[in-house]
Amino acid sequence: MKFLDHPPRFLFFTGKGGVGKTSIACATAVLLAGEGRRMLLVSTDPASNVGQVFGLNIGNQITAIPAVPNLYAMEIDPQAAAQAYRDRIVGPVRGVLPESVVKGIEEQLSGACTTEIAAFDEFTALMIDSALTERFDHIIFDTAPTGHTIRLLQLPGAWSGFLEEGKGDASCLGPLAGLEKQRSQYKAAVDALADPLHTRLVLVARAQHATLREAARTHEELAAIGLSQQYLVINGVLPAGEAKQDALAAAICEREQAALSAIPEALKPLPRDQVSLKPFNLVGLDALRQLLDSDTAVTESGNVELPPTLNAPDLSTLVDDIAADGHGLIMLMGKGGVGKTTLAAAVAVELASRGLPVHLTTSDPAAHLAETLEGTLANLTVGRIDPRVETERYRQHVLATKGAQLDAQGRALLEEDLRSPCTEEIAVFQAFSRIIREAGKKFVVMDTAPTGHTLLLLDATGAYHREIVRQMGSTGVHYTTPMMQLQDPKQTKILIVTLAETTPVLEAANLQADLRRASIEPWAWVVNNSIAASAPRSPLLRQRAHNELREIEAVATRHAKRFAVVSLLKNEPVGVDRLLELAEHITEVA
Amino acid sequence: MKSIQVFAPALCCNTGVCGVDVDQALVSFSADVDWAKQNGAQIERFNLAQQPMAFADSATVKAFLERSGAEALPLILVDGEVALAGRYPNRTELARWAGIAETVEVKPQGGCCSGSRCG
């Protein structure tokens, strides 16, 4: 494995949820510890199973792993770090300032920026030389800060106004206000990050277009701020040997190879490794030791018992209930890469094939899926929100109008603020607001939606609109805000999309909690790309299918009011026929 | 020299670009504060989301919040007395309070009111 050669002091693993970066980080730590290096493994995964992997409780302090000499680990829970930060800020004024004011402050501090910066604050203590860290040769992090956070920390203007005076003149550095760390400590951490002698970034992806695109984006963003030493690891590649055993496996192999040969240009120069898909769950030392061992033959795991047909509702059943209302807004929400676009198209096609009027809006950057549908069904129209285009338009608009009179320094600060992740949410929200008005007459199916946090913050505007409604009540003028529409289950149904794997299910549960905070109740969950629903024959896939059953059970019993499972298909679900296929379960053919 | 204190609503960015609609007043105000400071003015900005204690510690600000709520911010105190509420001051006002002799042409004040928020 190239990414293991001459490792520097700090190794960061980054990638979308579910690509397996925590497993690879753990396996790397075990391997290097086995070579006699003193290792510290830092996990920030809120679903951290590092403790479970090693069979002990770890928590927020450096803990020795008895089974692996030289290995120590700690788990930082970014949510807990953010909560601790919120408590520090809000605690002293609770009961002093009005309750509504306190609630507003808490909501302001519930965003992704706060969580990321609170987690970064915990990192910095580990990235400077101290009695705490000097006994380790290497420190492995199973996450990396985003370019936005690092850029903010590099902004000299931001620092001078901020940490020295403590007056909060620096834009989104806001959440650092309550943190007592010294400027020198942050600077040391940021410098170490940008120094190839100190830091290596390992991008973890799967052999899929979407995750490779995401990896390319991360690569470019972090390279631009000086994090130049980057490696690419393609995880979970299905071994070619499996392809001989069933048609599904053959199709997956082919699809993965196609994705790899079309790898984004930006990733091509990076040193690259492949890690093959394993039949086992990555729990326990043996499993971890085998993960990075390319020579491990796939062990015949015997005959795994699988139900011939998965006992779970299919998408078609779910669409029956949606169709009953005749119109409405259907939004598919979930992390990137879970297949929202495909499922939105499948729901739209199912509805349209029942003769109902449907407008499908997709944010798919590739757009080929939407294009194949245009004009295929009489009552289906297709539109598009491209987040990049919307964001860029919004950014340019703000700079040209609101930034027109600023001097160079003011403009630089405004430009940096406009790079915040919030900007994309706002830009997409505006495009989104335009479209949802149509949902009163027909079905509008969307593969994107703002998060509960954004909605809550934007509801400041909603409250204003409600006040107008109240005042205009007697005049009979009807006004609803997007927020009001989303909270009304008669008008809006939210489908949470996930995969039948631990981290994606947890991320989906977090998303649901976030929506509930905004008084929006998700209507159903959809488990996508299920191997268990695909009746596989290859032993490796059967084992993976078996592992999925527990996650599907968790969705059914713990998370979802109603749910559906969609199988992993042999062919990319492009075109009406294949999308319709998606809605029904595959039965095992004898 | 008079001391100017600005008590702003909960914002994540001082420019407010994270809000649903960028507030020109905030963008301009950030630049004006910078200008006034360079001319020797003594200005402190407090963000409700970051320094709520500053709001709680001032009897004037606390009473204002109880009466009018966070929606009525910003509140500007000059030497502890309420000088302005509900909008950000413009460059002329800042200059007057701080006693800066204005040699720079004052640019027009932009929009108002919408509290910009983000996370």
What CA–CA distances, in Å, run from A408 to A171, A412, B31, B57? 16, 6, 11, 36
Which residues of chain B are within 8 Å of residue A89 when distances are taken between CB atoms?
Answer: 49-50, 52
- Note the pLDDT of residue A496: 96
Q: For the stretch B47-76, what's the b/e string if a residue is b when 16 or more beta carbons lie within 10 angstroms of its beta carbon?
A: bbbbbbbbbbebeebbebbeeeebeebbbb
Q: Which residues contact A141 (CB under 8 A, 6 or more apart)?
A: A10, A11, A12, A13, A25, A42, A44, A123
Considering only the beta carbons, identify the residue of A92, A114, A169 that sits closest to B53.
A92
Is A45 noted as a catalytic residue in this protein? yes
pLDDT score recorded for residue A472: 52
Residue A391: active-site member: no
Instruction: Return the closest-CA partner of residue A353 out of A579, A552, A85.
Output: A579
Q: Which residues pair with A14 in a beta bridge?
A: A203
- Closest Cα in chain B, distance from residue A388 (Å): 16
CB-based contact B49:A105 (threshold 8 Å)? yes
CB A426 within 8 A of CB A391: no
Are the beta carbons of A313 and A533 closer than 8 angstroms?
no
Query: Which strands form A443-446's sheet, in the order they lie side by side?
Result: A380-384, A358-362, A443-446, A328-333, A492-499, A524-530, A563-567
Please tell me if residue B53 touches chain A, with a CB cutoff of 8 Å. yes
What pLDDT score does A590 carry?
Answer: 39
Q: Can you give the pLDDT at residue A261?
A: 96
B43–A contact, CB cutoff 8 A: no
Question: ∠ CA A422-A488-A470 to the nearest 5 degrees?
Answer: 90
Quote the distance between the C-alpha of residue A522 and its chain's center.
18
Torsion of CA A284, A287, A293, A299, to 10 degrees: 160
The secondary structure element, H or E, covering residue A150 is: helix A147-154
Residues in contact with B88: Cβ distance below 8 Å, sequence separation at least 6, in sequence order: B6, B25, B26, B28, B29, B74, B76
Question: Rounded to an integer, what distance in angstroms lies between the CA atom of residue A19 and that of residue A25?
Answer: 12
Q: How do beta strands A71-75 and A39-43 pair?
A: parallel
Statement: residue B115 has pLDDT above 50:
no
Q: What's the rounded Cα separation, in Å, for the pair A488 and A562?
A: 17
Bridge partners for A525 per DSSP = A496, A563
Is B17 in contact with A101 (Cβ distance < 8 A)?
Answer: no
Contacts of A129 (CB under 8 A, 6+ apart): none
For residue A183, the model assigns a pLDDT of 65
Give the pLDDT of residue A292: 85
A410 is catalytic: no
A587 is catalytic: no
Q: Which amino acid is at B119?
A: G
The torsion of the CA quartet A148, A151, A155, A160, rounded to 10 degrees, works out to: 70
pLDDT at A81: 82
Tell me the nearest-neighbour CA distance from A175 into chain B, angstroms: 7
| B30, β-bridge pairs | none
Of the candidates A383, A398, A16, A22, the residue with the CA atom closest to the CA atom of residue A217: A16
- Contact at CB, B119 and A454, closer than 8 angstroms: yes
Long-range residue pairs from A158-165, CB within 8 A, at least 24 positions apart, any chain: A158/A413, A159/A183, A159/A186, A159/A187
What is the number of residues in chain B?
A: 119
What's the pTM? Answer: 0.76
Q: How far apart are CA A492 and CA B46, in angstroms?
A: 39
Q: What span, in angstroms and rounded, lies between the C-alpha atoms of A173 and A315? A: 44
Residue A259 backbone dihedrals phi, psi, to 5 degrees: -65, -40
Say what the pLDDT of residue A418 is.
79
**Interacting residues of B42 by C-beta distance below 8 A, sequence separation 6+:** B1, B2, B3, B4, B98
Residue A283, exposed/middle/buried by CB under 10 A (0-12, 13-18, 19+)?
A: middle
In this complex, is the C-beta atom of A180 within 8 Å of any C-beta atom belonging to chain B? no
Which residues in chain B have their CB less than 8 angstroms from residue A409's CB? 34
- Cα-based angle A131, A136, A142 (whole degrees, multiple of 5): 110
How far, in whole angstroms, is CA A287 from its chain's centroid?
25
pLDDT score for A204: 94
Residue A161 has a pLDDT of: 41
CA distance B115 to chain A (A): 8
Positions of chain A with pLDDT under 50: 156-175, 177-180, 461-464, 468, 589-590
Q: Which residues fall within 8 angstroms of residue A314, CB to CB, at 6 or more apart? A: A564, A565, A566, A583, A584, A585
User: Roughly what angle, to the nearest 10 degrees, separates helices A408-417 and B24-38?
Assistant: 140
Please tell me the predicted confidence (pLDDT) of residue A275.
94
Chain A touched by B65 (CB under 8 Å) = yes
Residues in chain B within 8 Å Cβ distance of A463: 71
Residue A351: DSSP 8-state: H
Token pair recorded at residue A417? 């603020």
Phi, psi of A146 (to 5 degrees): -80, 165
Instruction: Compute the nearest-CA separation of B87 from chain A (Å).
Output: 17
Helix A539-554 vs helix A502-517: angle between axes, to the nearest 10 degrees?
20
Cross-chain Cβ contact B70/A90 below 8 Å: no
Please write the tens of the pLDDT for every residue from B9-58.
877 555 555 555 566 777 788 778 878 888 888 998 888 887 888 999 99
Of B14, B55, B70, the CB nearest to A169: B14
- Out of A114, A362, A454, A503, the active site residue is A503
